[in-house]
Chains A and B, each alone.
Chain A
Amino acid sequence: MVSKRIVLHFPQRLVNQPIVYKLVKEYDLQFNILKAYVTPQEEGLMVLELSGKKENFDKGIEYLESSGVKIQPLSQDVIRNEAKCTDCGVCVPICPTGALVVDPHTRKVHFYDNKCIACELCVKICPTRAMEVHF
């Protein structure tokens, strides 16, 4: 079994296609939608936790890529520069997945990168620019 969190970017032409349905039907994969954002006339974004047999998983990913879905591995490309962070916490309500949390006792901000979906909303709103994108 393989289970991975991935970010899918759908170009506008694929927004109406039943892509995820095919992952289930043809490749026998389980999915858990962590975040989905599709607006007509715009790109769609979906963050999935995708699980299944290794062979099926790889085939599923291949199918997604061949359909034109851009796949981005989750987190790890967003890191916090500890020396720059002042622990103010203005990023906390901006983070859509709760990856940035204020500790109720220390009032310091924790960054749980396993929860990060690399939306990068925090990167530009950080007053000291402590959240950095590394590709």
Chain B
Amino acid sequence: MKSIKEINEKIKKGQVVVVTAEEVIELVEKKGAKNAAQEVDVVTTGTFGPMCSSGAYFNIGHSKPRIKLGGGTCKLNDVPAYAGFAAVDIYLGVTAIPDDDPRNKVFPGEFKYGGGHVINEIVAGQDVRLEATAYGTDCYPRKKLETFINIKDLNEAVLFNIRNCYQNYNVAVNLSDKMIYTYMGALKPNLGNANYCSAGQLSPLLKDPYYKTIGIGTKIFLGGGIGFVAWHGTQHNPGVPRKSNGIPQAPAGTLAVIGDLKQMKPEWLVGTSMLGYGVSLTVGIGVPIPVLDEEIIKYAAAGDEEIYTQVVDYSANYPQCVPGSLGEVNYAQLKSGKIIVQGKAVATGNLSSYSKARQIAEELKSWIKKGDFVLTEAVAPLPGPESGYTFKLLKERPIV
């Protein structure tokens, strides 16, 4: 048994032992969980995939004379930002697109530029064009504002993502006889390909399946800088079926995360375009797992072949909310490049970069080893499987 306090002492003294979520698998296999738990203090995880419920808020500073964007409109490089706050606070969501984007009018739409790309450019230190309108008040008389803004001049620039880091995700296939374009990528007809989106054995919540260490207040690698777990993410759904190793067999837990955009890096927040679907942001996240006991390292040592997920038809079942799986596969099978669905060998593609996830886990490891990153105690746990917390469909009620 170790405490986070003891691990932090070791970090400060430069004596901490850190391994990545990949390295821990072999270590536990070789030395056993008991010995490995004594030897290792921290396991670092990583993931780098498109995460649509992301965005950033900004305080742009007051203009002279003053303007109240609240209740008005605001665009950043033509992409609409939410202005329903006080005078100069705005929030830009990553899926927002310019009003004149053709969308899916010519199908499949290309979705070349949107909120995700704007955030990438802001983080990269590029000037961004702000155009705003307001209705004008006695205290905020101005009605129009057009200016370049730059991250270095903003009072606050904060990445605040309300759902990231899905604990497991579906494998998407297409049973229909025509090509479909989804948030899981282009899916060729008649089981032409199978797309998945997870770092598997490197993915944060898959390595702490019962949220024993990851909770509200956990300090993390976020977009190349430092962030925190702010809450459980939207659609958090811990009660899905799990294997005997505790790992959910379908999309389950999620995280809401927050961090100072000013110290993040553009290579870890990349604007993303999904053909026929829309714009998103590919976000890099790494979560450290403190090895407090043998049980925690056992969970962290689960390999790709022990992590299972469901194959789902995105031509009819997913859009129509018809439950059902075409089969269960593990991440070792997915990574082999082929899985068998309905007796057919189907080529697989990942939307989530495994090599970048590995790079994040390595980078977080080096921060901890150098003493630059100490761990935090969670201030409150995330709802677990026993909480009864669940994810409901909308019950529509007609408006008469």
CB of B270 closer than 8 Å to a CB of A: yes
Contacts of B273 in A (CB 8 A): 127-129
Whether A102 contacts B48 by the Cβ 8 Å rule is no
B219 within 8 A of A: no
A93 within 8 A of B: yes
Within 8 A of A (CB), among B321-378: 335, 337, 346-356, 358
A107 interface residue (CB < 8 Å to B): yes
Cβ–Cβ contact B347 & A86, under 8 A: no
Which of A89, A104, A107, A127 contacts B358, CB < 8 Å? A107
With an 8 Å Cβ cutoff, the count of chain B residues facing the other chain is 35
Q: How many A-B residue pairs have CB under 8 A?
A: 77
Mark the stretch among B187-195, B205-213, B239-247 that contacts chain A: B187-195
Taking the complex as formed, is A34 at the interface, i.e. its CB lies under 8 A from any CB of chain B? no
Q: Are B185 and A90 in touch, CB under 8 angstroms? A: yes
B44 at the interface (CB under 8 A from A): no
B50 contacts A by Cβ under 8 Å: yes
On whether A94 and B355 interact (CB within 8 A), knowing A86-B282, A124-B110, the answer reads: no
Give chain B's interface secondary structure class.
strand
**A82-106 vs B, Cβ < 8 Å mask (1 yes, 0 no):** 0000111111111000000010101
Contact of B270 among A86, A107, A125 (CB under 8 A): A86
Asked whether A53 is an interface residue with its Cβ less than 8 Å from the other chain, the reply is no
Q: Is B112 an interface residue (CB 8 A)?
A: yes
B215 within 8 A of A: no
* Cβ-defined contact, A93 with B348, below 8 A: yes
CB of A128 within 8 A of CB of B270, answer: yes
Cβ-defined contact, B349 with A90, below 8 A? yes
Chain A residues 121 to 135 lying within 8 A of chain B, measured CB to CB, are 124-125, 127-129
How far, in angstroms, from A104 to B355 measured CA to CA in the complex? Answer: 11
Jot down 15 A-B pairs with beta carbons below 8 A, ordered by A: A88-B49, A92-B337, A92-B347, A93-B192, A94-B186, A94-B349, A102-B337, A107-B335, A107-B353, A107-B358, A124-B275, A127-B280, A127-B282, A128-B272, A128-B282
Residues on A facing B (Cβ under 8 Å): 86-94, 102, 104, 106-108, 124-125, 127-129
| Known A88-B350, A93-B193, A127-B351; further 18 A-B contacts with Cβ < 8 A | A88-B48, A88-B349, A88-B351, A88-B352, A89-B354, A90-B195, A90-B349, A92-B337, A92-B347, A102-B337, A107-B358, A124-B110, A124-B275, A127-B272, A127-B273, A127-B274, A128-B282, A129-B273
